[in-house]
Amino acid sequence: MHHSIWAFDGSGVKIWANVVTDGATPPPSWPAAAKWQEDFKMDLDFYPLTVMMHRSIIMGIEQRMSLKSSVQCTFYKLETMTHLYLHTIIRHILSRGMEEEAVAFAAGFRHLQYFGHSLEMLLHQVLEEEAETYAGFSKGALLPCIARFLEAFPHHLDVIVRCARKTEVALWEYFFSIVGDAKELFSQCLQSGTLDTATSYLIIIQTLEPASISSKLAVQLLERAFEMEDFETGKELVRFVTSINDGIHRQEQLHSPTTGNGIGTTKDGGTATDKTNVENHARASDGTDFFYVEVLISKHARTLMARQRVRALARFATQLSFPLIAWLKKERNRSAMVDDWHGALMSLHEQFERPLPHEVITPSAPRTPPSARKPSAANAMTNPAASAAPGPSSLPLSVAARLEPAGTLDGHSSRAPLRKRANTLPLIRPPDSGAVSDEAEEVQAMIRATREADCWDWCLMLASFAMDVPTLLAALSEDDGPAAGLRMKWRAALLSTNCRGYQQLVHVVESKLLDLSTRTHA
């Protein structure tokens, strides 16, 4: 485009491409001036001043007029205007059948933040023009060419689905018959791990396909979300599958035959077998997807615990209103048992990105009584209703916003996410800050959950990580401590770290336990 001529004729910009050469005089083969025809033209509603080639933008000015009745005067104001033309150039190159040249040209603008938006504009304009006559199926159609062109860029799946979401639903079937099956594009999103884009495709599939297919694909997306520990998306997908299952049951009740033998009464008084209902029921989900979701949730909780991902388990339980304490009670002698105590302690430092402590950090103020505390993560794990209370700190349901337009989630309330506590005593203090630590609250929530579930292996590890001496004393007391039998394992795990802070913690706890035992038997 640097060897081109740009001209403004009052209604738009005319462009002659590759007409300027390095020579001083034009070649003799140039046609007469009267026969010159511009390569393409762009409509423009303002006066252009400059062309920013490196940004693919035309910049100019526009005159705005405003009338002031109070002073009986007309004011004129010049405003700066811009026009993005990248999609126009790409379309011109593709219309001449030069796909490789179009990819090479567009690659020079990939660094721009609005590059994806330009591709979306290109796709949307051609779709709107060719959809009226279904020209996309004819020879020489531009829409299939653009679809192949987009595949050269990594975010083409996002461009396609954004274009579809901004297009009329009536055009979706035609659009995806050209650019590719929505289910196949959804599978590509799962493989690449772009869950946001896959969620948008799921909305489209829900409209184009039977409920049974969208439900099964939602379960696949849920599995992938769990693998990537995107539990906010997982929560909304659980709601999505639940709403589909409820909608199917309501539809079956509305369209159920009037008699028990499957024969319905017709309008003229006769009887006829309702074959449509039978076909719809065969296509609909039988509830196995919803049952599998429940199994999948429990299975993933065991997977997280087996991998010692307790921090992810806490977020998982909070987002999905999973009954963590009840589950820990059942799993305390199975997946919740700690086999590698040293590895479990090191895993906590890795998950919270904390170095090994250099000294014991004790609280500088008395602990807040449970009755005065705000709703915590532990309460959200135990009582799902508590996490549903409205509040200004609730997180935005961005995934829910993407799922809502499909219409299947109407009337189904969602559980609010975890509220952050603002007045919690920081049992773990950063070296350079005295502010309340949200990470400390996460640890304390898990300590309370494991203590209530009698899951003492993890309770001791978490309390040691948090330097929670009172919890350690209550658990390891020889008289009535429920975890007194685990004292040697706990001691060996802390000393095996060769960490001064944990060595001091063992000394402090054992000294206090000895004092308690002496006073008790005195």
Question: What was the pLDDT predicted at 135?
Answer: 66
The mean-pLDDT minimum among 44-53, 163-172, 248-257, 502-511 falls in 248-257
Instruction: State how far the alpha carbon of 409 is from the alpha carbons of 61, 169, 203, 403, in Å.
Output: 47, 18, 11, 8
Q: Where are the alpha helices (DSSP H) in 322-455?
A: 324-331, 341-352, 377-382, 398-403, 438-452
Whether residue 520 is predicted with pLDDT greater than 90 in this model: the reply is no
Annotate 242-268 with DSSP letters as a single string. Answer: HHHHHHHHHHHHHT--SSTTSEEE-TT
- Rounded CA-CA distance 498/345 in Å is 13
**What burial class does residue 17 get, using C-beta atoms within 10 Å of its C-beta: 0-12 exposed, 13-18 middle, 19+ buried?**
middle
Q: Is 131 helix (H, G, I), strand (E, B) or coil?
A: helix
Q: What is the DSSP letter of 467?
A: T
Question: What was the pLDDT predicted at 248?
Answer: 55
* Nearest one of 119, 131, 215, 210 to 170, comparing CA atoms: 131
pLDDT tens profile 214-270 = 888 988 999 999 999 999 989 988 888 887 766 555 555 555 554 444 434 444 444
Take residue 272 and report the two structure tokens written for it.
């006829």
* Nearest one of 414, 378, 409, 381 to 395, comparing CA atoms: 414
- Rounded CA-CA distance 90/125 in Å is 12
Take residue 302 and report the two structure tokens written for it.
């065991």
pLDDT tens profile 344-385 = 999 999 999 999 988 766 544 444 444 444 444 444 544 444
- The pTM is what? 0.71
Q: What's the chain's average pLDDT?
A: 76
pLDDT tens profile 288-338 = 666 788 888 989 999 999 999 999 999 999 998 899 999 999 998 888 889
Q: How many residues does the chain have?
A: 522
Take residue 434 and report the two structure tokens written for it.
């005295």
- Rounded CA-CA distance 428/405 in Å is 44
Kindly give, in sequence order, each residue whose CB lies less than 8 Å from that of residue 121, ignoring residues fewer than 6 positions away.
84, 87
- The position carrying tokens 């309770």 is 459
Question: What was the pLDDT predicted at 188?
Answer: 94
- The position carrying tokens 């890795």 is 350
- Rounded CA-CA distance 53/73 in Å is 40
Show me where the domains of the chain are located.
Answer: 310-360+421-521
- Rounded CA-CA distance 195/402 in Å is 12
Q: Cα 86 vs. chain centroid, distance in angstroms?
A: 29
Angle, helices 86-95 vs 99-107, to 10°: value is 160
Question: What was the pLDDT predicted at 438?
Answer: 82
**Whole-number percent of the chain with pLDDT over 90:** 34
* Nearest one of 448, 439, 402 to 421, comparing CA atoms: 439
